Amino acid sequence: MTKNEIADVLGEIGTLLELKGENPFKVRAYQTGARALEAIEEAELARLVAAEELGTIKGFGEALVQKITELHTTGRLEFFEKLRASIEPGLVEMLQIPGLGPKKIRALHDKLGLADLAALTQACTDGRVAALDGFGAKTQEKILAGIKNREAYGRRHLWWDAWEVAEPIVAGLRALPAVKRAEAAGSLRRGMETVGDLDFLVAAADVAAVVEWFVAMPRVKEVTAKGETKASVRFESGLQADLRIVPEEQFGFALHHFTGSKDHNVQLRQRALTRGLSLSEWGLVPAEGEGTAKEKAEKLKGRKAEKTQITTEGELFQALGLHFIPPELREGLGEIEEAEKGELPRLVERADLRGAWHNHTTASDGRNTLIEMTAAAEALGWEYLGIADHSKSSVQAKGLSEERLRRQVEEIRALNAAKKFSTHVFAGVECDILPDGRLDFEEAVLAKLDYVVVSVHSAFTQDEETMTERIIRAIEHPRTTMLGHLTGRLLLRRDGYRVDAGKVIDAAIANEVVIEMNASPWRLDMDWRHWRKAAERGLMCAINPDAHETAGLAHVGAGVNAVRKGWLTREQVLNTRPLKAIQAWLAARG
Ligand code: DGT
Ligand code: CA
Ligand code: CA
Ligand code: ZN
């Protein structure tokens, strides 16, 4: 296990112990232990474990040393597994409700006997929660809203999480001897920010073997459907997956059909009809005559001579007089019209990226040091890495004071001068936009940096007009380089604050400020639906992972998906430019 994974386990132990009402000192020990662990570099941790010297670190008592060692060497911890099993699952579930920490859950359990969300909902509705010491009507309302949100959001999953499940399944399917082709289709393939369920499509000779493999996958909790050529399962995580197996000659049609979207499919069928053709998941057949599309396709099946020559999506589009439409664009938002006129733009790709700007280190709320982050960027082959830790007003996130920022800049300059890494580090900041639109640092402080990301982290409840003016004022600041996460939304958790995106985009274009695609899988903010129009009008995009640890840098992949859905080309994304061009661009801004 990596140090961050171990820190997660320690943090979770702290939470679970608190939930059990354990001694607060013991709880504290795990929480501070987790923080102390993050401050150690990965290689140093490996050395300390090997030399049995973990105990020399401040904050690591005997119990912690033993647990860290066990996790680091075996990737498991019996103590943790037993602890988790000893707590009612309903209580752990309550932790996901915003505003409910272990202490409050403990109180709800001890004083009202609540052990699951259903009971909690009832108690809120009855007003019993509001009557409890330390709760009140406002808290009760917030809890109820949190439970409702969870129900509304609960059926969908972040694209990133879904992809991590789907990728090995596609690989597993392809490795089966019977399988000729296998793809993940549906919203996952279209790169939607959230995914309802996974859809796998397979062309195979022996269907039974594929179905049996699918229903026996690890972490499958329930087989919800099982037929000759299809199956559906639900994983322990709640995510569901559909499998369909088709004959090889149908694969292109089926892949297109099950990729969707529904709107795109409906429009394409409409187009086929105007050409006297009927399009379905089974094929493309003449529209006239009796019977449904399926019946016609089945009839054709028997007649080998008339068998369609179409085996790929590209051939399908071609048969309908269209250039190829990448899956990300298949949302029924004008892509068919554009594909008729000519070739669609070459969308930006993951391999086009040469760096990114919005990233954190242990100096603020990140979990890896400047050195570790730089090494990770170098390992990705990045030419440059921007460090933008939080500014002083973000107290929760250990925001940097002027003095600490000054020292970080010196550290970054020295790191570049030492040439230890091939990746150049840009010194920036993620500067809070104060409630009135002023920035958190004086101009003289910002002038010492290579660039400035400005973001809203407070006063989320301002009305739309105030919020919009606030952000525009920050955009107009001469030192502002880019705007961070436009709305502050957290997918499946909370909506963003209210802001007039159109006006902010106008201001950004007028002031030559970049807007980021925050690529953190739970943000993907600014939403892809705004990008096509904005970029056409001249807005520049930066795909920023907002990484808080080395593993977070890879999240740019989610950002690439999202901007592809916004039709962006390489030219419209700043971090596709080489280091020299970026340096010149920054220098020209003064
Ligand atoms: P999701 O799972 O909610 O994130 O969204 P999708 O797009 O993956 O939807 P899903 O899993 O229900 O179906 C996969 C694809 O199959 C969908 O994108 C288009 C196609 N499809 C499913 N049902 C229909 C339908 O009733 N009409 C049409 N035209 N296409 C459908
Ligand atoms: Ca789906
Ligand atoms: Ca489905
Ligand atoms: Zn950030």
pLDDT tens string 55-85: 998 889 999 999 999 999 999 999 999 999 8
Residues 362 and 406 in one domain: yes
Total structural domains within the chain: 4
Domain of residue 114, CATH code: 1.10.150.110
- pLDDT given for residue 298 in this prediction: 66
The two tokens of residue 237 are 């995580």
User: Does residue 307 surpass a pLDDT of 90?
Assistant: no
pLDDT in tens, 36-54: 898 888 899 999 999 999 9
Cβ of 240 less than 6 Å from ligand 1:
no
Cβ of 186 less than 6 Å from ligand 1:
yes
- pLDDT given for residue 306 in this prediction: 41
- pLDDT given for residue 478 in this prediction: 97
- pLDDT given for residue 237 in this prediction: 83
Can you tell me the mean pLDDT for 326-342? 97
- pLDDT given for residue 321 in this prediction: 96
Residues 10 and 115 in one domain: yes
Residues 495 and 363 in one domain: yes
Residues 513 and 552 in one domain: yes
- pLDDT given for residue 308 in this prediction: 59
Beta pairing partners, 428: 388
Residues 354 and 337 in one domain: no
Residues 166 and 289 in one domain: no
Does residue 480 lie in a domain region? yes
How far is ligand 2, taken at its centre, from the CA of residue 496, in Å?
25
Cβ of 326 less than 6 Å from ligand 1:
no
pTM of structure: 0.84
Q: Which of 308, 341, 374 is the last residue of a domain?
A: 341
Can you tell me the mean pLDDT for 139-147? 90
Cβ of 196 less than 6 Å from ligand 1:
yes
Percentage of the residues of the chain whose pLDDT score is greater than 70: 96
| Distance in angstroms (rounded) separating the CA atoms of residues 3 and 6 | 5
CA atoms within 13 A on the CB side of 350: 12
pLDDT averaged over every residue in the chain: 94
Q: Which of 228, 237, 223 is nearest to 210 (CA)?
A: 228
Residues 294 and 207 in one domain: no
Ligand in nearest proximity to the CA of 547? 4
Q: Which of 217, 246, 275 is the last residue of a domain?
A: 246
User: Does residue 560 surpass a pLDDT of 60?
Assistant: yes
Q: Which of 119, 134, 153 is the last residue of a domain?
A: 153
Measure the CA dihedral 412/416/420/425, to 10°.
70
- pLDDT given for residue 299 in this prediction: 63
The two tokens of residue 299 are 């009839």
Contact 181, 248 (CB under 8 A): yes
User: Does residue 292 surpass a pLDDT of 80?
Assistant: no
User: Does residue 296 surpass a pLDDT of 80?
Assistant: no
Residues 40 and 177 in one domain: no
How far is ligand 2, taken at its centre, from the CA of residue 212, in Å?
21
pLDDT in tens, 401-443: 999 999 999 999 999 999 999 999 999 999 999 999 999 999 9
Can you tell me the mean pLDDT for 557-567? 98
**Ion ligand 4, residues whose Cβ is below 5 A away:** 430, 546
